[in-house]
Structure 1
Amino acid sequence: MKDNQNESGERLQKVLAQAGLASRRHAEEIIEQGRVQVNGEVIRTLGTKVRPGDQIIVDGSLLKMPEKKYDYYLLHKPTGYITSVTDPQGRKTVMDLMKGVPQRVYPVGRLDYDTSGLLVLTNDGELAHRLMHPSYGVEKTYRVEVHEWIPTQVRQRLEKGVELEDGKTAPAKVQEVIQKSQGSRPCYEITIHEGRNRQVRRMFKAIGYPLTSLKRIRFGSLRLEEKMAPGKFRPLTTLEVQKLRQEVELK
């Protein structure tokens, strides 16, 4: 096995400690004593990194890692919260809403301070990475309101892609939503698979129709329930997690 200290992965001594074999310091001693093999090669260098799938043998026995438990939640993010774990400016974050969650979870992607809607939080780092990575093309649908009705030919610019300062957007799907309440503003749903900063707001501004409200109602196979109030959250079901993993080609 080549020296992979600069590759991604976990430090070997940390993995040994996580497996309950020894403390981190004792694990370092075990490594330096030549008692650990990774993929058939004796490792004596501290800091060597291993990845999932590597075979680790300690004193002739295969190391078995405890099964890691992941948590997955759907939050209806209200406006007035930032999508961050902490904020140096002291603003409210979505973590302030996740009271009673036993394990620490992290937001998947971002929703702006003045944007509401569906937000996924998890401690499954690989799933979070893939859900956010543009190569997997996970679709996100937003419900938007504007001051006035947008002519069809103007909406078609969104569907074909509009030029922004950071390049032309990918084609989007746009449809008008008929709202029941009287006096409500024109409403549309737009589906994109990119994740640029404030992208939907910038797209509508680019066609001359700045938004008055923005709410994400769908993220991949997940859809925000109408009955879920802002600030509320729930765990994802096993089936919902399976569908998300299938969308990004995770077994």
Structure 2
Amino acid sequence: MNFTSKIHDIIIYKLKQRVIFLEERLQKFLARSGIASRRKCEELIKEGTIKVNGVTVTDMGIKIDSKKDVISYKDKVITINGEKVYIILNKPCGYITTTKEQFNRKKVTDLISGISIRVYPVGRLDYDTSGLLILTNDGDLTYKLTHPAHEVNKTYIAEVIGIPDESKLDKLRQGIPIEDYVTSPAQVNIIDKNKSTAILEITIHEGKNRQVRKMCSAIGHEVKNLKRAAIGNLKLNDLALGKWRYLSEEEINYLRTL
């Protein structure tokens, strides 16, 4: 074992042995600092981009004292900014909800201007899906709204090809097999229809990749257009496509109760 490895092991050992003064897990601190969601921060730790007191840490169990330890991301020291920002955006199609893009596609953060604090999307909306998206630097709220255990309802308006009958809708209401999982029961209603398409209102609390599209495809009705209309009781109301606004204090407090 070389000298660097010994120093690394000593630091990791001391971090694990602290009991009284440890304040929080490393990934929670990172999320609270606004780096990304807690889930994404766990990925950053695994990738070896986080250092504690100058030593790369990849252990999910590490706890830190933010008043004593120096935490860095890609060698840039992380500090907690006390100001939290909460934004609601009416996302257009053709934008991605990641903050990094290697194919030069447009990002939702490109639509946010006039604020100096970096914000991050809460969860994801597909490239070709529009609608309600929350952006914030509050890692704890992001974790709460995106973690499956909290079962936060999301309502979508889906225009599908063809008119599904009640037996097909009941399959969605009961939970339907998709790839390697079965969806939780959804709330589904037809709110409009014509000769060739129907407009469905679908409420789910999961957030798996392209889930609503896959659900509709599983009953034989491909999605033509998809929009997220609400998260819980939070709605877009008259917010124009591509526009954003700050959430009110009442709306923020509501999201914290979900």
* TM superposition score category, shorter chain reference: 0.7 to 0.9
Distance 1:208 1:116 in 2: 22
Question: Which residue in 2 is equivalent to 1:61?
Answer: none
Question: Which residue in 1 is equivalent to 2:217?
Answer: 205
Letter in 1 for 2:256: R
State whether structure 2 residue 159 is matched by structure 1 residue 145: yes
State whether structure 2 residue 247 is matched by structure 1 residue 233: no
Letter in 2 for 1:108: V
Query: Displacement, 1:2?
Result: 3.4
Letter in 2 for 1:120: I
**8 Å Cα contact 1:10/1:50 also seen in 2:** no
Distance 2:123 2:80 in 1: 28
Distance 2:160 2:110 in 1: 30
Query: Displacement, 1:3?
Result: 2.6
Helix, strand or coil at the partner of 1:186:
strand
Question: Which residue in 2 is equivalent to 1:126?
Answer: 140
Distance 1:76 1:184 in 2: 27
Query: Highest CA radius of gyration, 1 or 2?
Result: 1
Query: Displacement, 1:7?
Result: 4.2
Question: Which residue in 1 is equivalent to 2:190?
Answer: 176
Which of the residues 185, 206, 209 maps onto 2:197? Answer: 185
Identity %: 42
In structure 2, the CA distance between the partners of 1:66 and 1:79, relative to structure 1 (3 Å rule), is: closer
**8 Å Cα contact 2:88/2:133 also seen in 1:** yes
Alignment of 1:14-33 (within 5 A): none
State whether structure 2 residue 90 is matched by structure 1 residue 79: no
Query: Displacement, 1:228?
Result: 1.8
Helix, strand or coil at the partner of 2:217:
helix
**8 Å Cα contact 2:121/2:133 also seen in 1:** yes
Query: Displacement, 1:224?
Result: 1.6
Which of the residues 103, 109, 133 maps onto 1:89? Answer: 103
In structure 2, the CA distance between the partners of 1:66 and 1:173, relative to structure 1 (3 Å rule), is: closer
**8 Å Cα contact 2:90/2:243 also seen in 1:** yes
State whether structure 2 residue 228 is matched by structure 1 residue 216: yes
Distance 2:208 2:180 in 1: 9
Helix, strand or coil at the partner of 1:75:
strand
Letter in 1 for 2:102: P
**8 Å Cα contact 2:154/2:204 also seen in 1:** yes
Letter in 1 for 2:249: T
Q: Give a deviation string over 1:45-97, Cα, whole Å, max 9, x none.
A: xx97126xx9x8xxxxxxxx998110000000000000111211100000110
The RMSD of aligned alpha carbons is: 2.8
Any unmatched runs of 5+ in structure 2?
Answer: 1-15, 34-52, 54-61, 69-78
**8 Å Cα contact 1:160/1:171 also seen in 2:** yes
Distance 1:158 1:205 in 2: 11
Q: Give a deviation string over 1:95-121, Cα, whole Å, max 9, x none.
A: 110011231100000000000000000
Question: Which residue in 1 is equivalent to 2:50?
Answer: none
Query: Displacement, 1:166?
Result: 2.2
Number of equivalent positions: 200
State whether structure 2 residue 254 is matched by structure 1 residue 243: yes
Distance 2:138 2:63 in 1: 23
The structure with the greater share of residues assigned to helix is 2
Distance 1:114 1:167 in 2: 23
Query: Displacement, 1:149?
Result: 1.2
Question: Which residue in 1 is equivalent to 2:74?
Answer: none
Letter in 1 for 2:163: W
**8 Å Cα contact 1:146/1:211 also seen in 2:** yes
Question: Which residue in 2 is equivalent to 1:22?
Answer: none
Distance 2:226 2:216 in 1: 11
Letter in 2 for 1:207: I
Letter in 1 for 2:240: A
